[in-house]
Amino acid sequence: MNDNDCLFCRIVAGEIPAETVHVTERTVAFRDINAQAPLHVLVVPKDHYADAAALAAGDPAASAELVTTAAAVAAAEGYDDYRLVLNTGAGAGQTVFHTHLHVLAGRPLTWPPG
């Protein structure tokens, strides 16, 4: 269930290099190429789903695994506090239409976000 035109499918397949930090049965976590914080990792399902709602509907176990993987990455890098972001739709800042959970930590994170 992969899409050859999808950037993150190609990273999951190893066709495009990425700095992978954690792999589970259903997810891959790799560093964002344009980090917005000392820790900025993207956790993606191995299978292609366009956004978080599609993933939750189509593969709830993978949806849960995104969050447990994010927590494992934050813990492994020594962060108790972190922010998880799922930009959903272009109007909310989504630019890659393969679900990805941003994990951000290591600097003060203000609220509300921009």
- Residues 35-74, buried b or exposed e (16+ Cβ, 10 A)? eebebbbbbbbbbbbbbbebbbebbeebbebbeebbebbb
Among the listed residues 67, 71, 96, 109, the single contact to ligand 5GP using CB under 6 A: 96
Q: Is 100 a catalytic residue?
A: yes
Q: Which residue is nearest to Zn ion (CB)?
A: 6
List the structure tokens of 95.
């630019």
We find the least distance from the C-beta atom of residue 39 to ligand 5GP, in angstroms, to be 13
CA separation (Å) from 103 to 3, 5, 31, 57, 58?
A: 24, 25, 9, 22, 22
Site string for ligand 5GP, 23-52 (x = CB under 6 A): -------xxxxx-------x----------
- Using the rule CB under 5 A, is 48 a contact of Zn ion? yes
* Positions in the binding site for ligand 5GP (CB under 6 A): 7, 18, 30-34, 42, 87, 93-96, 100
* Positions in the binding site for Zn ion (CB under 5 A): 3, 6, 8-9, 48, 98
* Catalytic annotation, residues: 100
